[in-house]
């Protein structure tokens, strides 16, 4: 069996990204860059509980889904109360996600026919800067695994991976409308059962052990203001209820449009995820990692705009801590947010024109 050196390079690049991300966020170094993972250890509402051995989500409120909470809890248990050990534990637990992202990039590039060009996205700067930063690398890895398994007609396992991804970040639910349209009765049922089997146990455990936690989760995020949403430049009000409502409704509408349009599955998945991100009132820079597996399917359309998106996305955190309000225009982070949104919008238009409108034949999910 011949070895594809390009595929080996993809794994090597992702492992290098993992190492680099862990290094630049390493706590207690004067030059290290902010990381949510490190901040959880020092926040009074979470740090004291983590050091005491309590489980976030299950024993006290934490603003993330339950699988994300478990990754932090496991890291805290392995830390013996030490900051460095806590961070190192999360770092090592993240390696499988990076390997899974590499695997999904390779497989999606093969399935889509994008070839070596699709492999470029393993070198995403956002994966370096925002990997050991939050939980998005776990969700993206599981979304990529789910997509490949589904395209291989392994619907239950594909649904299982998507359900587990939903327990890390909710974004894998954006793919469900497309899956349901592209599958038939038994296939659809298998995927749905897998999704429930992946997500439900953790959410049910949280509901039993901390009944108020899910309600607090909804209240917390619904009460959050606009964060890195491009239309802050229109409304100039971080807590505008009109902006939040319009962004959410338009995002949901565009996701459904991506599901209902005719065309290849993978570009529509890219459009569904991008539609939500570009209209969401919360578009934190780590969420760009969600797109990495789907970029691999549409490289020719997105590559012209990829550098500007990545540079602006990385610049958001690098310019965040300045003598200004970073969530409001005309601060540098919000200028970067505007450039990022324009880049993503151009990607979406290019994918629609080149990969949806001009392409009517694909390898379908249905056998």
- Give the 3-state secondary structure of the chain: CCCCHHHHHHHHHHHHHHHHHHHHCCCCCCCCCCCHHHHHHHCHHHHHHHHCCCCECCCECCCCCHHHHHHHHHHHHCCCCCHHHHHHHHHHHHHHHHHHHHHHHHHHHHHHCCHHHHHHHHHCHHHHHCCCCCCHHHHHHHHHHHHHHHHCCCHHHHHHHHHHHHCCCHHHHHHHHHHHHHCCHHHHHHHHHHHHHHHHHHHHHHHHHCCCHHHHHHHHHHCCCCECCCCHHHHCCCCCHHHHHHHHHHHHHHHHHHHHCCCCHHHHHHHHHHHHHHHCCECCHHHHHHHHHHHCCCHHHHHHHHHHHHHHHHHHHHCCCCCCCCCCCCCHHHHHHHHHHHHHHHHHHHHHHHHHHCCCCCCCCCC
* pLDDT band at residue 360 under the 50/70/90 scheme: low
Segments forming the whole domain that contains residue 47: 5-357
Domain count, the chain: 1
Q: Is the pLDDT of residue 366 over 50?
A: no
- Average pLDDT of 144-171? 96
Q: Average pLDDT in the 113-133 region?
A: 95
Give the per-residue pLDDT at 363.
42
Q: Compute how many other C-beta atoms are within 10 angstroms of the C-beta atom of residue 349.
A: 12
Looking at residue 367, its pLDDT comes to 36
Is the pLDDT confidence value at 361 over 80?
A: no
Backbone angles phi, psi at 38, to 5 degrees: -70, -40
Residue 365: inside a domain: no
- What mean pLDDT value characterizes the chain? 94
- From the centroid of its chain, how far is CA 222? 19
pLDDT value of position 216: 93
Answer yes or no: is 362 within a domain: no
pLDDT number for residue 30: 80
- Look at residue 231 and tell me if it is in a domain: yes
Q: Is residue 366 part of a domain?
A: no
> Does residue 359 carry a pLDDT above 90?
no
- pLDDT confidence tier of residue 365, bands split at 50, 70 and 90: very low
Q: Is residue 241 part of a domain?
A: yes
Judge whether 101 lies within some domain. Answer: yes
Residue 367 counted as domain residue: no
pLDDT (tens digit per residue) in 268-327: 999 999 999 999 999 999 999 999 999 999 999 999 999 999 999 999 999 999 889 999
The packing angle between helices 83-112 and 136-151, to 10°, is 30
Q: How far apart are CA 216 and CA 213, in angstroms?
A: 5
> Does the residue 363 lie in any domain?
no
Provide the β-strand partners of residue 282: 227
For residue 229, what pLDDT is reported?
Answer: 97
pLDDT computed for residue 28 by the predictor: 81
* Alpha-carbon gap, residue 270 to 292, rounded angstroms: 9
């Amino acid at each position: 069996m011949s070895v594809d050196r390009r595929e080996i390079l993809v794994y090597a690049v992702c492992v290098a990204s993992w190492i680099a991300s862990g290094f630049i966020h390493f706590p207690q170094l004067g030059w290290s860059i902010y990381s949510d993972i490190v901040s959880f250890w020092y926040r009074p509402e979470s740090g004291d509980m983590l050091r005491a051995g309590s489980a976030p989500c299950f024993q006290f409120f934490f603003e993330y889904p339950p699988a994300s909470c478990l990754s932090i809890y496991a890291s805290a248990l392995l830390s013996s109360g030490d900051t460095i050990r806590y961070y190192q534990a999360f770092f090592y637990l993240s390696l499988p996600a990076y390997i899974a992202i590499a695997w999904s990039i390779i497989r999606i590039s093969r399935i889509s026919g994008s070839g070596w060009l699709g492999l470029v996205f393993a070198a995403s700067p956002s994966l370096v800067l925002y990997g050991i930063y939050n939980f998005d690398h776990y969700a993206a890895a599981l979304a990529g695994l789910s997509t490949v398994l589904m395209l291989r007609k392994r619907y239950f396992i594909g649904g299982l991976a998507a359900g587990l991804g939903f327990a890390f970040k909710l974004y894998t639910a954006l793919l469900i409308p497309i899956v349901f349209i592209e599958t038939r009765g038994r296939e659809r049922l298998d995927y749905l059962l897998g999704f429930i089997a992946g997500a439900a146990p953790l959410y049910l455990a949280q509901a039993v052990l901390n009944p108020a936690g899910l309600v607090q989760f909804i209240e917390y995020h619904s009460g959050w203001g606009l964060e890195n949403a491009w239309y802050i430049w229109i409304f100039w009000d971080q807590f505008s209820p009109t902006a939040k409502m319009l962004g959410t409704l338009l995002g949901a509408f565009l996701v459904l449009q991506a599901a209902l349009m005719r065309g290849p599955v993978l570009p529509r998945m890219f459009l569904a995820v991008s539609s939500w991100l570009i209209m969401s009132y919360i578009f934190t820079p780590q969420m760009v990692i969600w797109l990495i597996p789907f970029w691999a399917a549409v490289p020719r359309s997105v590559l012209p705009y990829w550098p500007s998106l990545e540079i602006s996305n990385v610049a958001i955190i690098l310019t965040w801590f300045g003598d200004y309000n970073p969530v409001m225009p005309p601060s540098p982070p919000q200028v970067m947010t505007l450039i990022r949104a324009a880049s993503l919008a151009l990607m979406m238009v290019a994918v629609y024109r080149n990969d949806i409108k001009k392409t009517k034949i694909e390898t379908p999910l249905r056998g």
